[in-house]
A = this chain, B = another copy of it.
Amino acid sequence: MGRRERKKAATRQALADAALKLFLERGYEQVGVKEIADAADVSVTTLFKHFGSKEALVFDQDADKEAALVAAVRDRPAGRSVPDALRDHILVSRFAYGANPELRRFLDLVESTPALREYSDRMWIRHRDALAHAIAAEIGAPADDASSAALAFFALQARALTRDHPDPRHMINETFNLLAAGWAAVHPE
């Protein structure tokens, strides 16, 4: 990778870092793009060349999530159903920030900011087709199989569904109980 791309990546990183730092300090809405650009020592124009929107500054990794999602289905333990594998993956990705306080604060920021919540939801839904195809492949159905698409969509929406529930873990489990039972009925083995 040449100097050019390295510098570009550095600028991008500086922007994302500055943004996250400022957001955590003072809250998403209380920070303007101008400040972020200044903190990263670039112009606002440059900021928007790197990130399509203010929200995008916070979510700087996307492709790996999709890969992980597809892998969760494809590489699931033998005997585990597709919905159950998805349940596991959602539970882990939602509650496994372990003892990492940075991640914890980041998730709190997202959850407490409506604009970021919506953006995050939309990000997940963008992986809908990829997940649907992975599921269809697993059961040997055509790529545009409707039930696979429905399961993929619902699994991805589960985050939004369980967000404001008092007991998210329980809500997720109940939700996937419904999906798993329906899936088993539609696709008996």
A interface with B by C-beta (< 8 Å) = 146-147, 149-151, 153-154, 157, 161, 165, 170-171, 174-175, 177-186
Can you list 16 pairs linking A and B with CB atoms under 8 Å apart? Answer: A147-B175, A147-B177, A149-B165, A149-B171, A150-B161, A150-B178, A153-B157, A154-B154, A154-B157, A177-B182, A177-B186, A178-B179, A178-B182, A181-B186, A184-B185, A185-B185
The winner among A147, A153, A157, A182 for most chain B CB atoms within 10 A is: A182
Are B174 and A185 in touch, CB under 8 angstroms? no
Cα distance, A171 to B146, chains bound together (Å): 6
Q: How far is the CA of A149 from the CA of B180 in the complex (A)?
A: 16
For A186, the chain B residues whose CB sits under 8 A away are 177-178, 181
